[in-house]
Structure 1
Amino acid sequence: MEGAISSWPNSRIAVVTGGNKGIGFEVCRQLASYGITVVLTARDETRGAEAVERLRALGVTDVIFHQLEITDASSITTLVDFLEARFGKLDILVNNAAVVGVEYFKQLDTKKEKFAGLDFYQRIEWMFKNVNERIDGARKSVQTDYYGTKRVTEALLNLLQSSSDGRIVNVSSDFGLLRCISNEEVRQDLNDIDNLTEERLAELLDKFLRDFEAGELEANGWPTGFSAYRVAKAAMNAYTRLLARRHPMLRINCAHPGYVKTDMTMGSGVLTTEEGARNVVKVVLLPEGGQTGKYFAKGEESSFM
């Protein structure tokens, strides 16, 4: 039983962004199984409410829906006001909401048998071949995956600091590892946490988008293929480390769930959503006073490189 090892009281409150499907939905289910009250958020009210009903049909009752569009300041404020009035604190924030910033080819058929016999690398190669990237998608990915996550986090910091054991887990990806960026200066800046600033992160993201629009990604050492998603996740990883240094009383980490079968991977992953979510929840449930400012790959501490 997933909740059997929990020693936490039932009063712990968690917010999960992008909780209506995929990994986010499973994170909500698994956290609730530990006796944690979960606020499932989604930008679409109908889909979010339906997700809560699906959980209730599974016997999961400690889940509440609240609408949240992480790129909308007023939507974030409304969520903060609700949490303050209802709970007066927040113990756990799982930043799961993200967009991949690419266009999928409409003719794709993602039936399971399509991937039978393909290994991990062949599936990744298949995915790279079946997407198209445009500047509007790149901008949306940066605005959502980095700036949206950042704004939600900063809006909820006061509530997290009202907890005796506040935790933030940013759902990341091995696509955001620094080795994906061949530009040595950019890589060093993102890894130099002693000197890195949020202003420098913004400058790097602006430079990336200018190079994207100019068709100069490869020439300037940026990743190609899911490029905006990779750069936004790398920036989010760096921001996570900055935030952990700034707020040492909170546990703030990144969690790569693995290559999961979701809409974002067009069903090409090798892990189920339950398995991927378990890798995230393992980081959420680290022992009190444990690691902070770290990157975890499939539940195990790893390198940002």
Structure 2
Amino acid sequence: MEQAKRIAVVTGGNKGIGLEICRQLASNGTMVILTARDEKRGLETVENLKACGLSHILFHQLEVTDQASIASMADFIKNKFGKLDILVVLNEKAKKELSDTDSLTEEKVEEVLKRYLEDLKEDLLETKGWPVNFSAYIMSKAALNAYTRVLAKKYPNIAINAVSPGFVKTDLNHHRGILTVEQGAKGPVMLALLPNGGPSGLFYDQMEVSTF
């Protein structure tokens, strides 16, 4: 008798590390419920993953700060699968500490990173609420986005933005990405060619403005 598949829910699975977690779980035979706030992006991500040969994946909209959305998600899992084996919630501590753009300074970014490194050395990441899985990646990304905002405020006459090109097929990831290099280059090129007076201090997911 075939062993029942494990069921996993991944929050924020439509991009970044959440997307990679979904991909790897599905590659290992786990049934993955990819969730995201944006239904259109979530559905597109699932279709892209299926086009790469990953069949054990589906989408359900989820806003983790909305109790009604959480309840809807719980009902969906109960009715369709009757169980949940894995829950991956991407940690928001770094984002919360660095998301207040009005009070954000270089000193504050450095102070947050200093506390993170101290807790890392003392093996206190989980206890203090820092991200544990892919910790260095998440913190470096949060710090980069924060510095982008700091520099944009410091140099208002220069357009300074951060951009994620998406999960691009490159040597770095052994060509396991979803996007071609041509697709991945569109966002950076678009920002590089912005006219004078264009937006600054923003984070772009490929070619669209995204949240911190």
Q: TM-score range by the shorter chain?
A: 0.5 to 0.7
| 1:255 aligned counterpart, secondary structure | strand
Quickly say closer, same or farther: Cα 1:232–1:285, change in 2 above 3 A: same
Whether the aligned pair in 2 keeps the contact of 1:261 and 1:269 (CA below 8 Å) is yes
Q: Does 1:303 align with 2:211?
A: yes
Gaps of 5+ in 1: 1-118, 128-178
Q: Which residue of 2 aligns with 1:190?
A: 98
Q: Which residue of 1 aligns with 2:179?
A: 271
Distance 2:182 2:198 in 1: 24
Gaps of 5+ in 2: 1-18, 28-88
Q: Does 1:251 align with 2:151?
A: no
- 80, 86, 91: which is aligned to 1:181? 91
Query: How far is 1:121 from its partner?
Result: 5.3
Task: String of CA shifts for 1:49-93, please: whole Å, max 9, x gaps.
Answer: xxxxxxxxxxxxxxxxxxxxxxxxxxxxxxxxxxxxxxxxxxxxx
Query: How far is 1:223 from its partner?
Result: 1.7
Whether the aligned pair in 2 keeps the contact of 1:251 and 1:289 (CA below 8 Å) is yes
Query: How far is 1:226 from its partner?
Result: 2.1
Quickly say closer, same or farther: Cα 1:182–1:122, change in 2 above 3 A: closer
Q: Does 1:220 align with 2:128?
A: yes
Q: Which residue of 2 aligns with 1:239?
A: 147
Identity %: 42
Quickly say closer, same or farther: Cα 1:191–1:120, change in 2 above 3 A: closer
Normalised by the length of structure 2, the TM-score is: 0.55
Task: String of CA shifts for 1:15-64, please: whole Å, max 9, x gaps.
Answer: xxxxxxxxxxxxxxxxxxxxxxxxxxxxxxxxxxxxxxxxxxxxxxxxxx
Q: Does 1:210 align with 2:118?
A: yes
Number of aligned residues = 133
Whether the aligned pair in 1 keeps the contact of 2:148 and 2:161 (CA below 8 Å) is yes
Q: Does 1:123 align with 2:38?
A: no
Normalised by the length of structure 1, the TM-score is: 0.40
Whether the aligned pair in 2 keeps the contact of 1:251 and 1:291 (CA below 8 Å) is yes
Query: How far is 1:252 from its partner?
Result: 0.4
Q: Which residue of 1 aligns with 2:85?
A: none
Whether the aligned pair in 2 keeps the contact of 1:123 and 1:269 (CA below 8 Å) is no
